[in-house]
Structure 1
Amino acid sequence: MMKHKRKLIFITSVAVLFAYLMLGTAGLVSYLANRTLAEQGLNVNINKIRLNPFAMTVEVSDVLLTYQNKSVLELAQLSVETRFGQLVNGNIAIAQANIADGKIVLNYQNDTVSLGGWLPSKTEEKQQENNTTSEPLNVFIQQVLLSNINVELNAQRKHQFVLQQAKISDSEFSSLAQRVNAELVMQLNNEPMKVTAKAEQLEGKWQLDISEMQGALTIDHYAQWIPEPWSSAKGQLTWNVKAAVNQLEKVWSVELASLTFNASSLAVPLLTAGESKKALLGELALSSNNTHLAISTINSGELSASLGTTDLALTSLQLPLDVSGQVSNFSLDSFNVNAPSSSIALMADAQGMNAKGIVTLAGSGVSWIDATNNDVLLKLAQLDITDLDWALSDALSLNIPALSLGNGEFSTLAQQPQGLSLGDSALPPLAKWRTVNIANIAIKPQAIAIEDIKADIEQITVVKTKEQPLANLTLRSKNSNEAEQTNTQQTSTEQANSEQTSNEQESESAQTSISLGSVEILGVPNINYYDYSLKFPMVQQLQIERLWVKNIVSQPITTKAEYSLLARMGKRAAIDVAGQLTPFDPTQGLSAKGTFTGVDLTQYSPFIADAIGHNIKQGMLNAKIDFAVDKKEIKGKVDTHIKAIALSPYIGKDDHQVTQNNLVPLNLAIGQLTDDKGNLDIDIPLSGNLDDPDIGLTGIISLITTKAMKEGAKSYLMQTFVPYANIVSVAMMAGGTLFAINVDDLKYPAEQVILDDKQKTFADQLAQILIDKPKLQITACPVLGKADGISGPVKTLADKKISELKAMGQQRFHHFVDYLVDEKGIASDRIVPCASELSTKKAQGHLSFSIK
């Protein structure tokens, strides 16, 4: 009886204990925990804990942890099933665990993360360190499932992390091995993320296999952690990665099976030319497959990489750039980079880095515009670079089989330069082309080689003003004029330094050779030339039917290239020239041989007017040229035929005006030189120096025309009066725009009026000039001198005396005219009279003459 009673009491006690473990543990655990947590302002409340020591399971539900009466952790359900056998051996083995419907509140402040504002005290941290044993804890997990776990991070904005589903299986954390298999499905700030991965560390080998890692995020959600000046960046990022990472001893390797990365609606702040601007990108798409990366940490380390098939695509890019202190906007509609599998490889070690690769580039809708005044620096419809082969060792080298620029324009001004008068017409771009194809480009540290360039040009426009030789070039600093003034005021010391720097640069450039097989202009481009640097603006239009240059080589600099040019000016005029030149210093070696036909000289009047002081009212040029330039010295000849030439009256400076009777302006000399149709034929030598202001490089046509008229007029006048050199002399004045024809005076003894024999001989020679040159006329002016009875200043003479002297002068004139008309048959209207002059500066009276 007693035995049964004792047995019943034991069973009852065990049952009561088991019931307490199953049902009453929650209160006990909460009580014991809060005794410690209360000091930290924490309080935990557990609604239910169920322990099953026989099944080795624990179930916990409705856990609430508060800090300062605010919820910081909530958990609706936790269940764990362990393995008793492993517990006996000192291990933790989780056969099955489920954690569901939880919430954790974190605060971020002063670079510190706290649990709802709570941080463990330093005393607790120290106790935890002291309680840590040196014995490793082995953990084995068969399966752990988590669902609907919310983590709330309160920072400058509220961040929400939701672990929707997570599965950890077949995992081990022991002294022998570290292994984990994880599948995670998450949301971060309502943006999806997913990771499926396996990691293992065993016997010195570490391996990570990522079967899937994809996600998305919005950049401005994390502005708090983005450094300045990029903290205001915006945009969305998405990615998907499949990769494997392996580590054996001191060698790491990464096998990137696949990668896709997308960025959209990007806005990134940039500091450009001292201003805050934003770079914008519609979309960036990157994909890569089968990329390999190996890193060795032995000694100084080595790195090698082999890039798999890779594609990069950009759309709607807008990028602010600093150009000479000005903000400009660079944009493109699309840009693509393609690299075939294993086409890019890299190797780096302590001695340096070597890399090589082959990529193909393609872009469209390229635009580069000045943000200040909307000038177009560059526009390009299409850019293609095929199989760019690059290598990087000590320096970068490039090989490009083909580069193509399609439908582009360069340097277009939004407003006309000051001083231009094109009306409402917009100024065309400096250059506009349909296609530019460049073949076989090779760039090395000391050499640049190009096989050929073929450019289908639509038009080229050049604008020259007094201030700027290329006024429609947009790439110019906003303070360029100030800079030019400053440069002209530099000291001699700065000039010496500049010369030294220039010499050093020349020495460096001498080490880099440039070679270009040929450049050829295709199509029939229009060349528009506006020269507003002249007194009268000049506009010239050409159509290029043929232009090529071959064998362009920089070293030695004296290497000559061949060129050929055929250009039309209007429907009929043409220039056909061929020759050689030294392209890197044209003043050292240039030859030209060819023809100018049907050139309307009125178009070049502004050029020529500055040189000769006369506008060309009409005229046409035909010329054969054959000359060469050697070290700036011009030598050659031009067979010139100018048709129907007619010049305006003199329009030059006041100090060149014709103020003396013996001066003949160029237009009158040309009038004497031409035939009855106004034609002028002359062979002229071209000689001089390119730095000579009378020659210059203002244009070969104006040079030829100016030389022809000046030299022709001079030659004509000299030849005309050589037979009469004993009474006539000719001199060129005012840079060839005036000619002084000096005729000796016909002197008279005192009171003589009738011609004597010696005076008749003089008159005979002068008459012969008029007979030989029927276009000429003479002016004869009587001058009375001291020998004629002028004893004092003219103003002291009596009126009667003055009248008598002037009458004597007129008698001398009339007797001279009578002799030429009656004896020599000269028409009286070719002898122009003028009033008698009284002069005390002359000792003897005389007749003075001028021929025109």
Structure 2
Amino acid sequence: MASVRSVLTHTIFKVILSLYLSLYFLIWAISSPVTKHYLEPVLHEYGLALSQDSSIRYNPFMTELHISDFTLTTQASQEKVFSIGSLTLQLRLWEVLFDDVLIEEFTLNDSYIKIVHNQGKLTIAGVELPESKPATDPNPPVEPVETSEPTAPLPYQIILPEFLISQFHLDIINNDIPHEITINDFALRDVKATEKHQQGQLFINALLDTTALQLKVDANLDNALGDINSEITLDNYPIERLLRYAPQLNELSGVLSLNAKQKLTLQASGIALHIEQANIANNNLIVVLPEQRVSLDNVQHSITDLMLTINNGEIAQLDGTGSIAFNHFTVRKTADTVKHQQVFSAEKLAIDNIIYHREEHPSIKIADIIFDNLVFSTTNETSELVNNEKLPPIVKLKQLVIDDINLNERRLSIDTITLDSLLSHVIINKEKELINLVNLASSEQVDEVAHAIEAPNENTLEEETIATPSPEEKAQPNFIFSLNKFQLVNTNEIFFIDHSVDPHYNSDFFIDTLTLEHLSNDQEKQSQPSPFVFKGRNNKYTNFNLTGFIQPFATTPIYKIAGDFKELSLPTISSYLKDSTGLEVKTGQLNINLDVLLTGDILEGDTTLLLQGLETAIVDDDEVDSILAQGALPLNIAMGMLKDGDGNVELGLPLSGSTDDPKFGVSSIVTLITQKAIISATQDYLVKTFVPYANIVSLAMTAGEFALKLRFDDLPYSATQIAPGEEQQVYLTQFIELMQKKKSTRVNLCAVTTPADIGLPNGEKVTDKGNKKRLTALGNERASALKDYLIEQGNIESARLLLCTPKIDSSAEALPRIAISV
């Protein structure tokens, strides 16, 4: 009986096991066709078709779902919108008995999905998602919510040892702009998640528009709070793919690289971000706007140890360092006809030791900003005005350094701005245009801005009127600027050429010292003076020395300037007097001493003018024997009456009045001189002291003047000769001896050229303007060479040797020479 019972039990067990196995096998066998049978009608409703070789099988023995060769296509165009090469999902259901949901395996290989977003509609894998509709009632009634007892947290823990995706292709079209994302490897490992605690690691290796992207994440959270450590690397992303999102740009190119390691801490009150190290690089960047083209060979931006904490939506902590470097930064015009015009370029820009910090407000401190080899406005064109050579840039700087910068939302403070080795060329053509200037904006843009300024919006005016602050509010500006010092260092030169006057004006300026200190619009410093020093030279001998202070932000602005200009050669600026006066300055030198204070629009102070050896003539009176040169000009007569025994005229001009008064200014210097001349007596010249040098000097009554005048004999030259030679040594030796003994004597050096100096026969009057300019240039060189010789060999002060406009002697017996006069 026992044996029968045992056999029966064994048979029942076999039957049950067979049924169990048969059922599982049946489920595995029919899972794919049954699933496809019920899935295809659903897909048909969305216009999709499932490939015939698709396989969807469930293995109940291993609690495993396996999908392979799964492809969805559109019925209309047979376009593939979704595919799975292979997917395996395996669970351990018995772990649920221990409150664990264990996903033993999840692998997805060789898959594809198409996502289209166009005009607000989103289609994923061929299925258009419904748009979210706003509620019809903007203020719906709020129904009371019944409070209930808090539910106990779920006891289950999700465990995912490894979640793997490889070769997942995403085809994204955003408003007709295609993007390709290929996830080569996606790994989610060691995931353990409960309702209170979550942890896991993520690794992504992908191609973003053919650019390599790597992301590593390690998260450990309790109640959604905790640390998320991550590393991200992006190599050489082609940013031209972003051009379609910037319609205002004509061109965008370059490659972007990113490498960053950071930790994000989620807190109850906010978030904290700690960037250990971040490096951003952009190579071969080109940005083309309608009017400008910006290019950079390389941009490097690094951030180190940055701590950012945001609590309740506000920045509570900001600390860290960084640096930025630009290489070969250029801004050009983009129009085809002016593509060679360069607005700005810099060989290198370095912003070192950037410190991010927060005190009352988030701030940025920068140790220094250094620009190397700056160039402003380069046309790369040639011009006849510079001997058919390439036009130089308006400004070149060896270096621009801005030290100790502190910036926040309310204040900018700078310790020092230093310009090193400024070189400027200002070239003006006959139409009074700056020919080497490249305008950043087009004429249309300038007109638009001008129109906007001339015709402001009425509503804007009303708003501004309403928002006008009170005087108390005006006292402290909304944004405070402070500069401790501005300076120019080393050699600084400005070359000025003006072809709008005839003869053209050509002058070189050298700035030896330029400093400005303590400039600020801070309420506490508005009344403090900002002192300045401005020293320099013009050509070889003219020099100036100006000091003073400015208070531009005071309630009543104050400007103070004092100093002098010395040895300003008046013939060099004669071109600017011809049209207004009809006179040319043939010789003369001006010294100016000024001490002026401008308070608001009230001007007061004194200016002293010292005119030395001033002589004028009718415009274009170039010939030595011109009848006009022999006559007395009214201004010369007046000046002759003012001259002292040394031939000087000293005028003191007190200045006072308002700059808003139309009468302000030196309205008639000629009238002032004439008035002083009428009440001045003529003074005799000292003659007898010059008698021992009778072989090089003589006395004569100058036509049109009221006193005897000392006259030196002319110093003859050979044709085309520039520098003094042996044939002039006897004359120059005695001349130097006289000048060394008579320390107060000052002379005019006036070159006289002849046609033979440029290879033309004497006796023929020179009428060609080009030949006249050649003779004038040669005469200037000859007189300058003599002045240099007398200074170097005779130790004669440059202020005692005045240069004048060269003359032309076209007579048949004329000899090249330098006329020397007192």
Same fold per superposition (TM over 0.5): yes
Q: Which residue of 2 aligns with 1:382?
A: 348
CA distance in 1, matches of 2:465, 2:81: 68
Distance apart, 1:468 and its partner CA: 8.1
Q: What is the SS of the residue equivalent to 1:719?
A: coil
Is residue 27–residue 59 contact of structure 2 (8 Å, CA) maintained in 1? no
Residue 621, structure 1, aligned to residue 590, structure 2: yes
Residue 178, structure 1, aligned to residue 139, structure 2: no
* Residue 318 of structure 1, aligned match among 265, 273, 286: 286
CA distance in 1, matches of 2:398, 2:280: 27
Q: Which residue of 2 aligns with 1:284?
A: 257
Is residue 329–residue 369 contact of structure 1 (8 Å, CA) maintained in 2? yes
Q: Which residue of 1 aligns with 2:767?
A: none
Distance apart, 1:42 and its partner CA: 9.5
Q: Which residue of 1 aligns with 2:130?
A: none
Counterpart of 2:213, as a letter, is T
* Residue 240 of structure 1, aligned match among 215, 220, 223: 215
Counterpart of 1:279, as a letter, is L
Q: Which residue of 2 aligns with 1:347?
A: 310
Is residue 215–residue 230 contact of structure 2 (8 Å, CA) maintained in 1? no
Specify whether residues 774 and 36 from structure 1 end up closer, same or farther in structure 2 by C-alpha distance, changes over 3 A only.
closer
* CA displacement 1:338-369 (0-9 Å, x = unmatched): 2222x332223056765444322222222223
Map residues 327-726 of structure 1 onto 2, 5 A cutoff.
Answer: 327-341=291-305, 343-349=306-312, 355-372=318-335, 373-374=338-339, 375-391=341-357, 396-413=362-379, 421-422=385-386, 424-462=388-426, 472=437, 474-476=439-441, 478-479=443-444, 482=447, 486=451, 510-511=476-477, 512-530=479-497, 538-555=505-522, 557-582=526-551, 588-597=558-567, 599-609=568-578, 612-630=581-599, 631-643=601-613, 645-649=615-619, 665-666=634-635, 669-670=638-639, 679-687=647-655, 690=659, 711-719=672-680
Residue 209, structure 1, aligned to residue 232, structure 2: no
CA distance in 1, matches of 2:558, 2:36: 100
Q: Which residue of 1 aligns with 2:136?
A: none
Distance apart, 1:415 and its partner CA: 6.6
Is residue 260–residue 278 contact of structure 2 (8 Å, CA) maintained in 1? yes
Specify whether residues 182 and 467 from structure 1 end up closer, same or farther in structure 2 by C-alpha distance, changes over 3 A only.
farther
Specify whether residues 30 and 304 from structure 1 end up closer, same or farther in structure 2 by C-alpha distance, changes over 3 A only.
closer
Is residue 197–residue 208 contact of structure 1 (8 Å, CA) maintained in 2? no
CA distance in 1, matches of 2:436, 2:474: 31
Q: Which residue of 2 aligns with 1:264?
A: 237
Distance apart, 1:568 and its partner CA: 2.2
Is residue 567–residue 576 contact of structure 1 (8 Å, CA) maintained in 2? yes
Q: Which structure: larger Rg?
A: 1
Is residue 219–residue 228 contact of structure 2 (8 Å, CA) maintained in 1? yes
Specify whether residues 640 and 257 from structure 1 end up closer, same or farther in structure 2 by C-alpha distance, changes over 3 A only.
same
Gaps of 5+ in 2: 85-95, 118-123, 126-153, 170-181, 622-631, 684-702, 710-822
* CA displacement 1:454-499 (0-9 Å, x = unmatched): 2203313456798889993734453366358757976999998799
Counterpart of 2:196, as a letter, is K
Q: Which residue of 1 aligns with 2:796?
A: none
* CA displacement 1:149-189 (0-9 Å, x = unmatched): 433446789x99xxxxxxxxxxxxx9521111115251234
Specify whether residues 479 and 535 from structure 1 end up closer, same or farther in structure 2 by C-alpha distance, changes over 3 A only.
farther
CA distance in 2, matches of 1:493, 1:70: 67
- RCO comparison, higher one (Cα < 8 Å, 6+): 2
* CA displacement 1:435-466 (0-9 Å, x = unmatched): 22222222344443222222203313456798
Distance apart, 1:542 and its partner CA: 0.7
CA distance in 2, matches of 1:35, 1:402: 69
Specify whether residues 405 and 624 from structure 1 end up closer, same or farther in structure 2 by C-alpha distance, changes over 3 A only.
same
CA distance in 1, matches of 2:245, 2:21: 73
Counterpart of 2:255, as a letter, is G
CA distance in 1, matches of 2:469, 2:277: 45
Specify whether residues 274 and 486 from structure 1 end up closer, same or farther in structure 2 by C-alpha distance, changes over 3 A only.
same
Counterpart of 2:372, as a letter, is G
Q: What is the SS of the residue equivalent to 2:393?
A: coil
Report how many aligned residue pairs link the two structures.
608
Residue 106, structure 1, aligned to residue 72, structure 2: yes
CA distance in 2, matches of 1:404, 1:531: 33
Counterpart of 2:412, as a letter, is I
* Residue 71 of structure 1, aligned match among 48, 52, 56: 52
Specify whether residues 464 and 551 from structure 1 end up closer, same or farther in structure 2 by C-alpha distance, changes over 3 A only.
farther
Map residues 729-748 of structure 1 onto 2, 5 A cutoff.
Answer: none
CA distance in 1, matches of 2:615, 2:287: 57
Counterpart of 2:507, as a letter, is Q
Distance apart, 1:20 and its partner CA: 9.8
Q: What is the SS of the residue equivalent to 2:680?
A: helix
CA distance in 1, matches of 2:648, 2:298: 61
* CA displacement 1:19-42 (0-9 Å, x = unmatched): 994999599737983895498399
Is residue 666–residue 710 contact of structure 1 (8 Å, CA) maintained in 2? no
Map residues 40-55 of structure 1 onto 2, 5 A cutoff.
Answer: 40=41
Distance apart, 1:524 and its partner CA: 0.8
CA distance in 2, matches of 1:505, 1:422: 55
Specify whether residues 253 and 647 from structure 1 end up closer, same or farther in structure 2 by C-alpha distance, changes over 3 A only.
farther
Counterpart of 1:287, as a letter, is A
Counterpart of 1:569, as a letter, is N
Distance apart, 1:408 and its partner CA: 1.3
Specify whether residues 360 and 329 from structure 1 end up closer, same or farther in structure 2 by C-alpha distance, changes over 3 A only.
same
Identity %: 13
Is residue 403–residue 437 contact of structure 1 (8 Å, CA) maintained in 2? yes
CA distance in 2, matches of 1:484, 1:470: 23
CA distance in 2, matches of 1:494, 1:521: 45
Question: Which TM-score applies when normalising by structure 2?
Answer: 0.60
CA distance in 2, matches of 1:524, 1:547: 11
Distance apart, 1:430 and its partner CA: 3.6
Q: Which residue of 2 aligns with 1:779?
A: none
Distance apart, 1:330 and its partner CA: 2.6
CA distance in 2, matches of 1:501, 1:603: 55
Is residue 455–residue 521 contact of structure 1 (8 Å, CA) maintained in 2? yes
Is residue 650–residue 665 contact of structure 1 (8 Å, CA) maintained in 2? no
CA distance in 2, matches of 1:467, 1:197: 75
Specify whether residues 106 and 579 from structure 1 end up closer, same or farther in structure 2 by C-alpha distance, changes over 3 A only.
same
